A and B are shown apart, each in its own frame.
With several copies, the nearest count.
Chain A
Amino acid sequence: MSARIFVRVQKEPFDAPLEAASLTKGRSDIGAVVTFTGLCRDEGGALNALEIEHYPVMAEAEIARIASQAAARWPLEGIIAIHRFGLIRAGEPIVFVAAASQHRAEAFAAAAFLMDYLKTGAPFWKKQHFKNGASGGWVAAKGEDEAAAERWRAS
């Protein structure tokens, strides 16, 4: 469990590429890097922005806990997890995770694991703002996200 773990919760946009590059910079012992970037979709042109509320301190702690679980489960060299809060316009990135390892299977599994748990365990809530000025209310939790997180418990 020697993975370097970087967790950030921030209002500002992030540069996903630059973040990913930091994992491998100056190293030649990493064979695989998998990244996931989650972006705000405009829902067929109707959505203007998402407003993301979060529980400060707990959000960072919970993401760090999830990252530590991933590092304990797979032989990883590095993990990055960044989650934004505040107003996020359609097309902008919301979340970024990256996992680096020697072989690809571990990096793929860890990145998927991180996202599945971030979706259901990290204290963030999304509210929709539509282009016609209406608020779409809070996004409902999806059963499929719970199921996705659940699959890691079974195996």
Chain B
Amino acid sequence: MKALYFASVREHIGKAEEILAPPEEAVTVADLMHWLAAQGENYAAAFASAKTIHAALDRTHVKQDAPLKGAQEIAFFPPMTGG
């Protein structure tokens, strides 16, 4: 599964994208975030305010309780500030 990170999440983690191999227990978006946060200080910092982090599965906004299912791409980012 490909992960994309944007804005402050990208800066905290120190990369824009990577391929993840999460454990089978990571069923939902929240599970994946929890697992990622344990992958190092940079990840912990990125997901410190986990509730404010938005996620998209295959380029569609999802809530954190959404199942990862067979999604090929997941993105994490702070609240959007376009316009």
Contact = CB atoms under 8 A, between A and B. Distances in A.
A138 B8 contact: yes
Contacts of B60: 58
Nearest to A52: B82
Given A53-B6, A138-B7, A138-B8, A124 B56 contact: no
A58 B75 contact: yes
B21 interface: no
Contacts of B83: 38, 83, 94-95, 104, 115, 118-119, 122, 124, 145
A99 B25 CA distance: 47
Given A55-B4, A57-B59, A58-B56, A125 B82 contact: yes
B59 A55 contact: yes
A24 interface: no
Given A55-B4, A55-B75, A58-B75, A124 B80 contact: yes
Interface residues of B, number: 17
Contacts of B56: 55, 58, 123
Taking each of B7, B10, B77, B81, which has the highest tally of chain A beta carbons within 10 Å of its own beta carbon?
A: B81
B7 to A, nearest CB: 4
A118 B79 CA distance: 12
Nearest to A114: B83
A125 B77 contact: yes
A139 interface: yes
Contacts of B4: 55
Interface string B36-49: 00000000000000
B61 A121 contact: yes
Interface string A23-67: 000000000000000100000000000001111011101100000
Interface of A: 38, 52-55, 57-59, 61-62, 83, 94-95, 104, 115, 118-127, 138-142, 145
